[in-house]
Amino acid sequence: MDMVENADSLQAQERKDILMKYDKGHRAGLPEDKGPEPVGINSSIDRFGILHETELPPVTAREAKKIRREMTRTSKWMEMLGEWETYKHSSKLIDRVYKGIPMNIRGPVWSVLLNIQEIKLKNPGRYQIMKERGKRSSEHIHHIDLDVRTTLRNHVFFRDRYGAKQRELFYILLAYSEYNPEVGYCRDLSHITALFLLYLPEEDAFWALVQLLASERHSLPGFHSPNGGTVQGLQDQQEHVVPKSQPKTMWHQDKEGLCGQCASLGCLLRNLIDGISLGLTLRLWDVYLVEGEQVLMPITSIALKVQQKRLMKTSRCGLWARLRNQFFDTWAMNDDTVLKHLRASTKKLTRKQGDLPPPGPTALGRRCVAGSPQPV
């Protein structure tokens, strides 16, 4: 009995220490928690906020043209936001998202795509209640603390241990683990929430996460549910579609004893939230928010197609490592070119939906209902 009490007491003290550091903010930073080494005089920050340890090259003519084009598109986006009910289901919206959402209005666009203001108005004070409840009782506090420490640390917003954005990220994840205990917490949520925090204030980022995981169209609940319904559903679809588009690649992976559907699926969320240039990650994320689940397979399919020659030369022992480590070479091409490939692939796979086997009751039927939060 004493051992149990001692363990509970120790756990309570650890929780208290973690919360104290986040409450103190920068003042709680310890030498070993400072993140990356201090940068030198020649360090630079790119336009997306990523910190580089070497001086960035001068802006090329193409990049300058791209920035000017983005600025001219802002007025069109402002007009669209002003008449959102007219445009929200239009092909023009999709066209413009593929061309690129201007950085200075990405937050407002995400807000209307996920209907954030409406759910906030329906739940006044709810976030603060969940936040305080999470501080008191979330069983995921240690896991969340460890992941916050490593999330987007090369971005100026998240560089400082216990800095403003790290604190917001920590509190949102605590609140969500209480708001929806069926999902609770997993590491992917840290990366997703950090993306939202780049362009949304704290409470809006929380409700963005709520809306995303509650959305049938985006189908993220299954990625984080114990049953993994969406994962199984996507595997079923990939098993049917991808072999037709890349039969040699799939045959080689089967021959080497590594199922291609699982390998590609292992890259699925990583492709959207980590590992490639932040600018392209954000553009893929924009497309995902407007198009939903249907773009997840095309993103994986494009990667497999581009990497086909390398994969064909890889043995079983190195295949998974190559898929993980060289997957992002796929996106070395111009961002606009990647988006054109993605859209063409999405249209192609959409046309094939009629050929897909219907999902069985054990595939998409067992969803984690992310829209069933805890009562206040």
Residue pair 319/263 in contact (Cβ under 8 Å)? The answer is yes
pLDDT band with cut points at 50, 70 and 90 for residue 293? confident
Specify the long-range contacts of residues 332-336, CB closer than 8 Å, at least 24 apart: 335/277, 335/279, 335/280, 335/283, 336/100
Residue pair 183/368 in contact (Cβ under 8 Å)? The answer is yes
Q: What is the pLDDT of residue 124?
A: 97
> Which residue would you say has higher pLDDT here, 313 or 130?
130
Tens digit of each residue's pLDDT (9 = 90 or more) over 321-343:
444 444 444 445 678 888 888 88
Same domain, 116 and 25: yes
Structural domains of the chain, count:
2
Out of 3-12, 277-286, 357-366, which region has the weakest mean confidence (pLDDT)? 357-366
Same domain, 190 and 286: no
pLDDT beyond 60 at 59: yes
Average pLDDT, the chain: 75
Same domain, 18 and 110: yes
- Residue 280's domain comprises 264-315+335-347
> Which residue would you say has higher pLDDT here, 53 or 4?
53
CA atoms of 162 and 25, how far apart (whole Å)? 5
Strand partners, 50: 155
**Quick one: average pLDDT of 274-303?**
79
CA atoms of 342 and 306, how far apart (whole Å)? 12
Tens digit of each residue's pLDDT (9 = 90 or more) over 104-160:
999 999 999 999 999 999 999 999 999 999 999 999 999 999 999 988 888 999 999
Note the pTM of the prediction, 2 decimals: 0.77
**168-177, 180-189, 222-231, range with greatest mean pLDDT:** 168-177
Same domain, 135 and 24: yes
Same domain, 268 and 208: no
